[in-house]
Structure 1
Amino acid sequence: MGSTDFSTVLVANRGEIARRVIRTLRRLGLRSVAVYSDADASAPHVREADAAVRIGPAAASDSYLDIDAVLDAARRTDADAVHPGYGFLSENVAFARACRAHGIAFIGPGEDALEIMGDKIRAKAHVAASGVPTVPGFDLTGLTDDDAVARAREVGYPLLVKPSAGGGGKGMRVARDEVSLREAIASARRIARASFGDDALLVERLIERPRHIEVQVVADAHGGVIHLGERECTLQRRHQKVIEEAPSPAVDEPTRQRLGRSACDAARSVDYRGAGTVEFLVSADRPEEFFFIEMNTRLQVEHPVTEEITGLDLVELQVRVAEGHPLPMTQGSVCVDGHAVEARVYAESPARGFLPATGDVTRWRAPRDARTDAAVETGSTISAHYDPMIAKVITHAPTRAQAWRDLDRALADTVVLGVDTNLAFLRRLARDEDVLAGRLDTGLIERVGVPAPDRPDEETLERIASAELARQATGVRVGPLWGRMDGWRLGDAEPPVVTFLIDGDSVVRARPKPDAAPDAELARDVDGTWWAHRAGRIFSARPVSRRRVGDLARRDTRADARGGAREAVAPMPGTVVAVHVADGDLVEDGDVLVTVEAMKMEQPVTAPRSGRVRSSVAAGDQVRRGDVLAVVASVDGGADPPPENEGEPDGSPRPGR
């Protein structure tokens, strides 16, 4: 087979993966083309590419998932090939076919591989025929819920219900009995239909205390199929990977060879091309026993750890294979050097159940001594339209222990101000005794617990107070005297004091001290909140007026008197996917009223107390964090106080974040 080298490659993606692919294309001397939605017009990947084309509005369905728009951009820029990254169209067989029909190379596997491995049900049966071990389970296609319950008894609980199409843990649900199985099927079908346009489901035995091990494979069109070792992806939340490492501390050399052979067998069974990942479940109690889960026919988010220990550029290998070149190495020439760990930094609030966070990144600084694949820079906006990943921080060292110590230091050195992040949570994991000892299973994160939000120390607050008063002194209008934040009083000779709101409801006061905390990095966001990074910790504090402090205190008193708030509010920005009650229904405290979905996550919103409900939204509505979704009125004959003014706890207008 001959080869045809590319000159222009369109990157059909966004964020950190688009930037990472563009980086390799530039090194290879290839012209890169970025695509972008309206929400990404000023994104870093747009500026870094050699050319950029708008493909639609913010919604992914109207831009990054629009095959015609992406292909039109490729034609307009004379692209020889399209690199899909991961997510979006990367595993879409219709997109691969459309690229071929238009004479554009798809940098990914062939259509048969996409079609077979893109369907978890078909993939499982296919690899089983090639001798790859699989988890017991069944296909729900054509079965009623009653049929499913009957089959579930044969397989045995607990069970994992998951969409056959798609990936990334989206739509996966655990069922431990008949009732939860029926609920899991309904929820998984709804998410699968909305996310993938395909509500086919697969039910599998849930392996308790499993480890999630995946094997990186690379194949060419000349019969070459090799593996580059395994990655440990066991540290997960809600089936979403959080920290990955390579190699796995649980896999010995004989098991590594067996895993590698099975992964290569799976790839050969579909005549695979390019880079792909074969995922396995490994019993924590019996690490020599493993089961095929699925094959991801694309580059993985965690591919950098494999690159770090092998010294290979997986994007370069993808490009060369797509051009028709043979692999430049054999299985015997693959060398593994040291250990690598990757942590995914997300815009999310661990203290609020890891709900996604949105807003502007007022300051970004990558750690100085680690590889960082970042989606953002200072001034970037984290929106509700896409995955909230900010960056991946990767460390590589001669030993596993050193790689984890380096990761903790790198995370401490990472500066993200303006939005909530999981950095403190990642650092807790990086120092956890079980993690450092390699005692991992997919339930470990749930047991570790969430650290309380970092609260600014006195010195940092004094520095922030100085910055706030200096800002006011520049002539910024702060309203009438009673709106001032420094505690000013007529005839008062005492030093000024600035009042802050911490964690939404805790009031603290600090006196300005300009020389306090000289090592703190400060930034102020659009709603007036100050953010600080100091000694590896990130704080936020919002200056408030004395009047607003009084309003907050009075609101808390009224809430206590009436036995709880009456509004059920959106915990995050997103889309209402289900309204579970009708106006006038009687509900109990804790009943689910509405379900909101955003960024691959469904969040139930429950009744704040018992009473009669009045809904404010319908399925399909877009909502912001804090929007009132329903009101629960008292039915005990007592008078209900009027609802509070909408806004933040201090009474200011809600910023829509």
Structure 2
Amino acid sequence: MSVLGGEQSMAATVTDPSVGAGREPIRRVLIANRGEIAVRIAATLRRLGVASVVVRAPDEAPDAPHVLAGDRAIALRRTGERSPYLDVEQLVAIAGAEGCDAVHPGYGFLAERDDAAQAFVDAGIRWIGPTPEAIALLGDKSAAKRTAIAGDVPVVPGLDADELTEEGVRAFAQEHGLPVLLKAAAGGGGKGMRRVDELGQVPDAVGAARREAEAAFGRGDLLVERLVEPARHVEVQVAADHHGAAVAIGERECSLQRRHQKLLEESPAPGLSDATRRRLHDAAVRLATTSGYRNLGTVEFLVEAPDAAADPDAPGIYFLEMNARLQVEHPVTELVHRLDLVELQLRIAEGVPLAVLLPDGGVGGDHVARGHAIEARICAERTVGTSFLPAVGTVVAYREPAGVGVRVDSGITTGSVVSTAFDPMLMKVIAFGADREQARERLVAALAELAVLGVETNAAFLRRLLGHPDVVAARTTTTLLERLLADEEAGPALREPPAAERARAAVALAAAERLALGGTADAGFGDADGWRVGRRAATRLAWRDGEDEPLVTTVRPTDDGGLEVALDDGEARVVRAHAVAGPADDLVLRVVQDGDEATWRRVPDGEWRWLHGPTGTVAWRPEPARAAGAAAGSGSLEAPLPGVVLAVRTPAGTRVAAGETVVVLESMKMELDVSAPRDGVVAHVDVAVGDHVQRGQVLAAVEEEDEA
């Protein structure tokens, strides 16, 4: 993890960690998490001289980055829990056996469980986070809203009946109007949330939200709220000590979301008036005080967009929820406030007063932000038509971006296996600048430099999103991204690289294949392409990309040492290419095309060829040979990703319409409907609930009625 060239520290502001504590300093910490957050926590502990113990699942490599980051690593046993990282009894036993006097849960489901916090407290192990009582209170959205109302914090109109029924949702929607939003009463991260635009959607939305909530949080109770849009999602970082003091440490803009999950976050939130910023900070502190909160937390708000607000200088603000833990996007706050929030958590847990920890900001006042920071969440993700689905695979090559103002919090390295067992987020790339535009430009450049080969990611998509005029101008709302993706012009431009970029990468692929096969610039008798009298022989290869789109490349050496490359049998262009370094299975080459010289890296992974260059990372595979009758029929429903079958909605013999859900899959904590490709009859269903399926596996088939 790099932070502006070096680790950040609060050491200058903490004069005596034991002041007012009444507790012993923390000596040894169990990091009860994995991936980039475990690496991040371990870095702070190492700098502070605090020993760390990390854990790993049975199917994780012993040399995974988070395992190597700790001073000691313990292998978890597989038990009845879906993930051993949620096995509280086992984690408490490990902490006790290893002599840990504290545990840091990171973020995620364990950090949101009050029973986990209580189990560690009962074992005499400090929980670096809020009290179990605060987690229980604020983790329940209904109870949190009641607490907000008690603290004079404005809330969104909603219904939080103990047993929210379909009839109750319909009645609320008829009274308050559509659209409405269903939300899991427990947890966060966008799980168990469904938007309802029409009353006819209520049954499916309630069922899906309840199933997802039960799978993620172990409880399926829901609440419903009026959907406030257009609006911005702005959250306030708060800190509260064990002496009754609470303070707001700036805010973050988190409006760019998809499926209620954040993609880009920044601090400070752009375009807020001083008065609105103060209202948000004060409301967040009131909630923390009213709930008896301790340690760090994040209070999330909806802020009316300027176009929707009666007074743009005083827009309405509405409490959403409070996340009683460290947030994924905490690095942007760290960069603009010159703080290490993990260290701050540790010191608060030791009992140090905020007056000692934050003397520059002052308890109850602003800790002034300087500069601007933007974070991009890099997820293992692939594009299929208009959908974004989790991706899996092994990282065959990896390079982090570097440079002034660039920070990377990563949990992967070359050789890391990305599976459906864990969340798809791989890392975070954060850029800091003197102002927002400098931070944005640095992040765009960093995402172009990032190379993750072997697993598809959303890095290129986020780079294009950062260049959209609305994002450049900070005109962001919670519905902006979904609106852009639905637009006939903007959607494809965001999801897919420009044709010129794709062509440039395809030319580099053709050149790389020739060099990897042993071809040279001055093709002769020994070359793989075959020298002959007259015009030189051409090599023609057919490819498919990740969306199964075809590509044909034809390469022919020229007499002057160049390469004549044609794409899809179109007009040929002359390029020059030479190997810079590496063997054929990890080739670095320089390619000059259209007067521009660029470096590309080509790494094969089975049948795939992964390429990284100035236009980002792409992958192609040779066109597969199709034996007669071997291909799945046009009415086949194939699994778009590995996962588990949650439901079979339409048994064999059922008439279905195009787009109607046939099978529901779950993968990487996400529910996915697999729909009928056309009107017809379900001819057969080849899976059952609970089955584990692989990408491309046939789930069912829909045939036209006269075929059935």
| TM more than 0.5 | yes
**Aligned 8 A contact 2:650 2:682 in 1:** no
Distance in 2, matches of 1:487 and 1:593, equals 49
Distance in 1, matches of 2:261 and 2:534, equals 56
What is the aligned length? 615
**Aligned 8 A contact 2:110 2:116 in 1:** yes
**Alignment correspondent of 1:455:** 502
Say if 2:342 is the partner of 1:312: no
Does 323-332 or 157-166 show the bigger shift? Answer: 323-332
Say if 2:371 is the partner of 1:344: no
Question: Per-residue displacement from partner, 1:495-554 (whole Å, max 9, x unpaired)?
Answer: 45151413224131243865163543434343221111111422212235xxx45x38x7
Distance in 2, matches of 1:623 and 1:79, equals 40
**Alignment correspondent of 1:642:** none
**Alignment correspondent of 1:363:** 397
Q: TM-score, with normalisation over the residues of structure 1?
A: 0.89
Residues 413 and 149 (structure 1 numbering): CA distance in 2 closer, same or farther, change over 3 Å? Answer: same
**Aligned 8 A contact 1:521 1:534 in 2:** yes
Say if 2:176 is the partner of 1:155: yes
Output the amino acid matched with 1:20. R
**Alignment correspondent of 2:295:** 274
Say if 2:44 is the partner of 1:24: yes
Does 211-220 or 616-625 show the bigger shift? Answer: 616-625
Distance in 1, matches of 2:652 and 2:507, equals 51
Residues 21 and 130 (structure 1 numbering): CA distance in 2 closer, same or farther, change over 3 Å? Answer: same
Three-state SS of the structure 1 residue aligned to 2:502 is: coil
Q: 1:90-101 residue pairs with structure 2 within 5 A?
A: 90-101=111-122
Residues 511 and 228 (structure 1 numbering): CA distance in 2 closer, same or farther, change over 3 Å? Answer: same
Say if 2:603 is the partner of 1:524: yes
After TM superposition, give the deviation of residue 596 of structure 1 in Å: 0.8
Say if 2:519 is the partner of 1:466: no
After TM superposition, give the deviation of residue 588 of structure 1 in Å: 2.9
Distance in 2, matches of 1:509 and 1:281, equals 50
Output the amino acid matched with 2:207. A
**Alignment correspondent of 1:652:** none
Residues 320 and 427 (structure 1 numbering): CA distance in 2 closer, same or farther, change over 3 Å? Answer: same
Say if 2:34 is the partner of 1:34: no
After TM superposition, give the deviation of residue 491 of structure 1 in Å: 11
Three-state SS of the structure 1 residue aligned to 2:590 is: coil
Three-state SS of the structure 2 residue aligned to 1:22 is: helix
Three-state SS of the structure 2 residue aligned to 1:445 is: helix
Three-state SS of the structure 2 residue aligned to 1:530 is: strand
Distance in 2, matches of 1:362 and 1:510, equals 27
Distance in 2, matches of 1:25 and 1:130, equals 35
Distance in 2, matches of 1:568 and 1:147, equals 35
**Aligned 8 A contact 1:357 1:572 in 2:** yes
Q: 1:72-91 residue pairs with structure 2 within 5 A?
A: 72-91=93-112
Three-state SS of the structure 1 residue aligned to 2:650 is: coil
After TM superposition, give the deviation of residue 411 of structure 1 in Å: 0.8
Residues 70 and 491 (structure 1 numbering): CA distance in 2 closer, same or farther, change over 3 Å? Answer: farther
Output the amino acid matched with 1:427. R
**Aligned 8 A contact 2:389 2:641 in 1:** yes
Q: TM-score, with normalisation over the residues of structure 2?
A: 0.83
Three-state SS of the structure 2 residue aligned to 1:455 is: helix
Distance in 2, matches of 1:612 and 1:451, equals 31
Residues 501 and 69 (structure 1 numbering): CA distance in 2 closer, same or farther, change over 3 Å? Answer: same
**Alignment correspondent of 2:23:** 3
Question: Per-residue displacement from partner, 1:50-76 (whole Å, max 9, x unpaired)?
Answer: 001111349972401110111122112
After TM superposition, give the deviation of residue 202 of structure 1 in Å: 0.8
Distance in 1, matches of 2:93 and 2:208, equals 36
Q: 1:30-429 residue pairs with structure 2 within 5 A?
A: 30-41=50-61, 42-57=63-78, 61-284=82-305, 285-286=308-309, 288-327=315-354, 328-329=357-358, 330-331=362-363, 332=365, 334-352=367-385, 353-369=387-403, 370-429=406-465
**Alignment correspondent of 2:553:** 509
Distance in 1, matches of 2:676 and 2:212, equals 23
Residues 540 and 81 (structure 1 numbering): CA distance in 2 closer, same or farther, change over 3 Å? Answer: same
Distance in 2, matches of 1:498 and 1:470, equals 16
Three-state SS of the structure 2 residue aligned to 1:61 is: coil
Distance in 2, matches of 1:376 and 1:637, equals 49
**Aligned 8 A contact 1:36 1:56 in 2:** no
Residues 39 and 230 (structure 1 numbering): CA distance in 2 closer, same or farther, change over 3 Å? Answer: same
**Alignment correspondent of 2:698:** 628
Where structure 1 has 5 or more consecutive residues not aligned to the other structure, the ranges are 472-485, 639-657
Three-state SS of the structure 1 residue aligned to 2:96 is: helix
Distance in 2, matches of 1:534 and 1:412, equals 8
**Aligned 8 A contact 1:56 1:62 in 2:** no
Distance in 1, matches of 2:219 and 2:707, equals 49
Residues 608 and 260 (structure 1 numbering): CA distance in 2 closer, same or farther, change over 3 Å? Answer: same
Output the amino acid matched with 1:360. T
Three-state SS of the structure 1 residue aligned to 2:699 is: strand
Three-state SS of the structure 2 residue aligned to 1:249 is: coil
Where structure 2 has 5 or more consecutive residues not aligned to the other structure, the ranges are 1-20, 485-490, 520-527, 557-562, 564-576, 579-588, 592-597
Question: Per-residue displacement from partner, 1:97-146 (whole Å, max 9, x unpaired)?
Answer: 10011111111101221111010011001111110000000014234322
**Alignment correspondent of 1:478:** none
After TM superposition, give the deviation of residue 581 of structure 1 in Å: 1.1
Say if 2:696 is the partner of 1:591: no
**Alignment correspondent of 2:467:** 431
User: Percent same amino acid at aligned positions?
Assistant: 43
**Aligned 8 A contact 1:608 1:632 in 2:** yes
Distance in 1, matches of 2:168 and 2:424, equals 38
**Aligned 8 A contact 2:510 2:553 in 1:** no
Residues 141 and 585 (structure 1 numbering): CA distance in 2 closer, same or farther, change over 3 Å? Answer: same
Say if 2:695 is the partner of 1:617: no
**CA root-mean-square deviation:** 2.5
Does 54-63 or 336-345 show the bigger shift? Answer: 54-63
Output the amino acid matched with 1:289. G
Three-state SS of the structure 2 residue aligned to 1:217 is: strand
**Aligned 8 A contact 1:13 1:85 in 2:** yes
Distance in 2, matches of 1:522 and 1:528, equals 16
Distance in 2, matches of 1:299 and 1:60, equals 23
Distance in 1, matches of 2:536 and 2:702, equals 47
Output the amino acid matched with 1:465. E
Three-state SS of the structure 2 residue aligned to 1:318 is: helix
